[in-house]
Amino acid sequence: MATPITQPLTKRSQVVSEKRMTLMERIYLPAIIKGMGITLKHFFRLRKATVKYPEQLRPMSPVYRGMHVLKRDEQGRERCTACGLCAVACPAEAITMVAAERRKGEEKLYREEKYAAVYEINMLRCIFCGDCEDACPKEAIFLTDRLVPTDYTRGTFVYGKQWLVEPLDPALRVDVSKRQPKAVAEFKKDRNFAHNR
Amino acid sequence: MLTLFYLFAAISVLCALVVVAARDPVNSVIALIVCFLSIAGHYILLNAQFLAVVHIIVYTGAIMVLFLFVIMLLNLNKATEPQRSLATRVAAVVAGGLVLLTLLAAVRHGISVEPARDFDIGTGLVRSVGRSLFNEFLLPFEVSSVLFLSAMVGAVMLGRREKNPQAA
Amino acid sequence: MIPTVIFLVALLLVTLGVAAYATYAERKVAAFMQDRIGPDRAGPFGLLQPIADGVKMIMKEDFMPASANRWLFFLGPAIAMTTALLTGVVIPWGGTLDLGGTAFRLQVADPDIGILYVFAMVSIGVYGIMLGGWASNNKYALYGAIRAASQMVSYELAMGMSIVALVILTGSLSLNDIVEQQRAGLWNIVYQPLGFLLFVICAFAECNRAPFDLPECETELVGGYHTEYSSMKLGFYLFAEYVNMFISSAVISTLYFGGYDVPFLDGLGLPQNVTVVLGTVALFLKITFFIFLFMWVRWTLPRFRYDQLMDLGWKSLIPLAILNVLLTGVGYYLKNGI
């Protein structure tokens, strides 16, 4: 049998009993004045908790997992090969894709012979766990520090390739290095592994 | 002054008629409130500000609030209004007609009501009302105040929760 | 005549202005007490916020429930606003100005029943809430209306009783007389500490302010009596609350804190008009403090439960108020005889 907890859980915990209130407590005024003293103290406290959002941002964790990006390689070809490992790994079943075969003349667009003709993530289902990123053998999908914007209808939250694939322009590429710890970066330099080549 | 008198008089009579005629009891109550307010206006025309304000506080502000309160809670409307039998209606019409006849007869012969006292411009002011209350009518005034106090205590007692001997 | 009309219009505008900025102050006070900053986007320090709020209120869709009683639905906010604004005319806002030879007192009307007039307006003000709540044809609104009515009727008793004690001392119902007496002697708070406390508590209840804001108690009644209201009609209800707060603060300052009286100011030998203006400024400072008190209490205390509210009113405040009347009477008798 478990022993009852005798030690208070926090420093502020108090033993509550239904004892009759004393006269001073029943007048309420001392308690009211005490409470008003507390609020007045806060009134004059200079340190405020407000973060003025658009100008001032709350500090974000460097490994924040936000909106996904489908990366291109250095030559601007889509890395995704529609293997479906991310969809399998996804615990929320948010990812669907349709694979297609690369035709002649499309080598500039897709890195491998197979590519994702349709790639959709339902952002309402996604729990931003990052399992897709771990599962991806092609370094194609990453979670970034960008936030998923709000909207009014459910349909708009199913993000297709036009939202997910990063822009071709090198200046507009999405930087995912922030989420890459040293060990991962080391691993990627190792050209012994097929998908790092 | 006379224009104001006629204005207030018209409002009072009109609202009093609405009180009787309105089908919705809430409208009746509101008409009665307006009627009381216009009567308060009459008091002010007679330089009886104290009476006017007390009239508003007591009748408009307290008693009519309770009226309205009860009517809102009971949710009276046409569906719940009791259907009166033919005999009652006939009796009501006859009685009302007789009253009208009497009034008409009285008016035809001319009514002259002599005021009990000459009009004194200061009668309704706080000072004179207070003087007469605390000199001439001291005993009735104090007795009625004790009566009100006991009524108030009685209300509090009635509203008190019954102590359950088992629970205590 | 003309100065009176100008003064009346000025009074109206000042009342509305103070009420508008009271909404801003409320949000700022609430924010500061909760370690936040509060509205700061509209203009410097958010000072234009009341204007933005007003524009928002007017632009919103004015919705009326299909089953509402049409004209009572309109009448409700109108009564609330009108009675709130009418109260200010009997309050002495300052002493007697000297306008190039003609004396002008900074008070619209000084009936010998001044304080009772305030009461009368407050008691009519209940109808604004009651009719609005009933006309909405909504159960929450009706509950709010019923709560408001019973609360205001109950607390009016204790409020009136605390005034009775004050009137025993002053011997006059005219607000101007009450202020003049305090100018001559000490402020009434010295003689009537208990009465002051009772009056303030009842004023909170009459304004439907926390901790007595059960008529609009959002945790139980959605929005209380203004649940079905929207747009500027809702704005009128909310605004009336702040106007009432301003007027209550003015009445409290006048009755217990000497109104426009500034101690020792008369001894300085300043010109009369300067003294009067300083007095009015002092009155507004007192009013500001009491408005702050209203907000301070609201953001500190939790709301009463309904039975606790009634218990407090009937079983604590009324007996205390009667006791106060009795003590004051005995004290007056011992000092002055009959």
DSSP string, C313-331: IIIIIHHHHHHHHHHHHHH
Out of A85-89, C26-30, C150-154, which region has the weakest mean confidence (pLDDT)? C150-154
Q: Average pLDDT of B130-148? A: 88
What pLDDT, on a 0 to 100 scale, did the predictor assign at position B155? 79
| CB within 8 Å: C145 and B72 | yes
CA distance C214 to C144: 7
Q: Average pLDDT of A150-155? A: 90
For residue C50, how many C-alpha atoms fall within 13 Å in the half-sphere facing its CB? 16
**Tens digits of residue pLDDT in B105-136:** 888 777 676 777 777 777 777 888 888 888 88
- Paired with A72 in beta bridges are A78
Q: Which of B56, B77, B98 is the last residue of a domain?
A: B77
Q: Average pLDDT of C244-248? A: 90
Q: Average pLDDT of A115-133? A: 91
Query: Which structural domain range is residue B153 located in?
Result: 125-160
With a cut of 50, say whether residue C155 has pLDDT above it.
yes
Out of B72-81, C60-69, C288-297, C328-337, which region has the weakest mean confidence (pLDDT)? B72-81
| CB within 8 Å: B68 and C310 | no
- Count CB neighbours of C135 within 10 A: 26
Q: Which of B13, B42, B77 is the last residue of a domain?
A: B77
CATH number of residue B61's parent domain: 1.20.120.1200
| CA distance between the termini of chain A | 60
Q: Is B69 on the interface with C (CB under 8 A)?
A: yes
What pLDDT, on a 0 to 100 scale, did the predictor assign at position B95? 93
Task: Look over chain A and give the mean of its residue pLDDT values, rounded to a whole number.
Answer: 83
CA distance B75 to B59: 22
What pLDDT, on a 0 to 100 scale, did the predictor assign at position B165? 54
**Tens digits of residue pLDDT in C194-241:** 889 999 999 998 888 878 887 777 777 887 788 888 888 888 888 888
- State what percent of residues in chain B have pLDDT above 90: 12
Out of A69-78, A96-105, A120-129, C97-106, which region has the weakest mean confidence (pLDDT)? C97-106
What pLDDT, on a 0 to 100 scale, did the predictor assign at position B168? 40
With a cut of 70, say whether residue B82 has pLDDT above it.
no
- Count CB neighbours of A173 within 10 A: 15
pLDDT band at B166 (very low <50, low <70, confident <90, very high): low
For C185: left if phi > 0, alpha if psi spans -120 to 50, otherwise beta; the answer is beta
What pLDDT, on a 0 to 100 scale, did the predictor assign at position C121? 87
For residue C41, how many C-alpha atoms fall within 13 Å in the half-sphere facing its CB? 6
C219 in Cβ contact with C138 (< 8 Å): no
Contacts of C301 in chain A (CB under 8 A): 32, 35
CA distance C92 to C71: 36
| CB within 8 Å: C116 and B57 | yes
Cβ contacts of C209 within 8 Å, gap of 6 or more: C241, C245, C294, C297, C298
Per the structure, how many domains does chain B have? 2
| Burial bucket for residue A40 (CB in 10 Å: 0-12, 13-18, 19+) | middle
| CB within 8 Å: C119 and B61 | yes
| CB within 8 Å: B68 and C130 | yes
| CB within 8 Å: C153 and B66 | yes
Paired tokens of B13: 């009579």
Q: Average pLDDT of C60-67? A: 83
Interface of A with C in 11-40 (CB under 8 A): 32, 35-36, 38-40
CA distance A129 to A102: 31
With a cut of 80, say whether residue A190 has pLDDT above it.
no
Residue B151, in any domain of the structure: yes
**Tens digits of residue pLDDT in B15-39:** 999 988 887 788 888 899 899 989 9
The interaxial angle of helices B126-134 and B138-159, nearest 10 deg, is 90
- Comparing B53 with C271, the larger pLDDT belongs to B53
Closest CA of chain C from B83, distance in Å: 25
For residue B39, how many C-alpha atoms fall within 13 Å in the half-sphere facing its CB? 17
Residue B114, in any domain of the structure: no
| CB within 8 Å: B49 and C112 | yes
Q: Which of C32, C34, C301 is nearest residue A32 as measured by Cβ atoms? A: C301
User: For chain A, where are the E strands, in sequence order?
Assistant: 68-70, 95-101, 114-122, 141-143, 158-159
With a cut of 60, say whether residue A62 has pLDDT above it.
yes
Assign B47 to helix, strand or coil: coil
Q: Is C113 on the interface with B (CB under 8 A)?
A: yes
- CA nearest to B68 within chain C: C130
Cβ contacts of C245 within 8 Å, gap of 6 or more: C19, C22, C207, C209, C291, C294
Q: Average pLDDT of B5-13? A: 89
**Tens digits of residue pLDDT in A3-56:** 565 666 777 777 777 777 777 777 788 888 888 898 888 888 888 888 888 888
C49 in Cβ contact with C39 (< 8 Å): yes
**Tens digits of residue pLDDT in A68-106:** 999 888 888 888 888 999 999 999 999 999 999 988 888
Contacts of A33 in chain C (CB under 8 A): none
Out of B18-27, C71-80, C261-270, C281-290, which region has the weakest mean confidence (pLDDT)? C261-270
CA distance C173 to C179: 11
Out of C106-115, C186-195, C241-250, which region has the weakest mean confidence (pLDDT)? C106-115
Which of A29, A43, A50 is the mutation pick for testing C, counting most C CBs within 10 A?
A: A43
For C239: left if phi > 0, alpha if psi spans -120 to 50, otherwise beta; the answer is alpha
With a cut of 60, say whether residue C19 has pLDDT above it.
yes
Q: Average pLDDT of B71-89? A: 71
Closest CA of chain C from A40, distance in Å: 7
Cα dihedral value B18, B20, B22, B28, nearest 10: 80
Residue B131, in any domain of the structure: yes
CA distance B69 to B78: 18
What pLDDT, on a 0 to 100 scale, did the predictor assign at position B167? 46
Residue B60, in any domain of the structure: yes
CA angle C184, C188, C192 (to 5 degrees): 150
Cβ contacts of A110 within 8 Å, gap of 6 or more: A77, A78, A102
| Residue C160 backbone dihedrals phi, psi, to 5 degrees | -60, -40
Closest CA of chain A from C31, distance in Å: 8
Q: Is C79 on the interface with B (CB under 8 A)?
A: no
| CB within 8 Å: B72 and C119 | no
3-state helix vs strand vs coil in chain B, percent to 5? 75, 0, 25
What pLDDT, on a 0 to 100 scale, did the predictor assign at position C289? 92
Q: Is C96 on the interface with B (CB under 8 A)?
A: no
Cβ contacts of C244 within 8 Å, gap of 6 or more: C84, C87, C125, C206, C207
Cβ contacts of B68 within 8 Å, gap of 6 or more: B26, B29, C127, C130, C134, C149
pLDDT band at A197 (very low <50, low <70, confident <90, very high): low
What pLDDT, on a 0 to 100 scale, did the predictor assign at position A127? 93
Task: Look over chain C and give the mean of its residue pLDDT values, rounded to a whole number.
Answer: 85
Q: Average pLDDT of C270-293? A: 86
pLDDT band at A152 (very low <50, low <70, confident <90, very high): very high
- Count CB neighbours of C282 within 10 A: 20
Q: Which of B19, B51, B77 is the last residue of a domain?
A: B77
CA distance B130 to B137: 10
With a cut of 70, say whether residue A134 has pLDDT above it.
yes
| Burial bucket for residue A102 (CB in 10 Å: 0-12, 13-18, 19+) | middle
| CB within 8 Å: C322 and B30 | no
- Comparing C149 with A184, the larger pLDDT belongs to C149
List the subunits that have 3+ CB pairs under 8 angstroms with B. C
Q: Which amino acid is at A175?
A: D
CA distance C199 to C325: 13
Q: Is B82 on the interface with C (CB under 8 A)?
A: no
What pLDDT, on a 0 to 100 scale, did the predictor assign at position B74? 76
With a cut of 80, say whether residue B50 has pLDDT above it.
yes
For A112: left if phi > 0, alpha if psi spans -120 to 50, otherwise beta; the answer is beta
Question: Model-level pTM greater than 0.80?
Answer: no
With a cut of 90, say whether residue C322 has pLDDT above it.
no
Residue B6, in any domain of the structure: yes
- State what percent of residues in chain C have pLDDT above 70: 99
Closest CA of chain C from A28, distance in Å: 11
pLDDT band at C124 (very low <50, low <70, confident <90, very high): confident
- State what percent of residues in chain B have pLDDT above 70: 86
Interface of C with B in 173-202 (CB under 8 A): 173
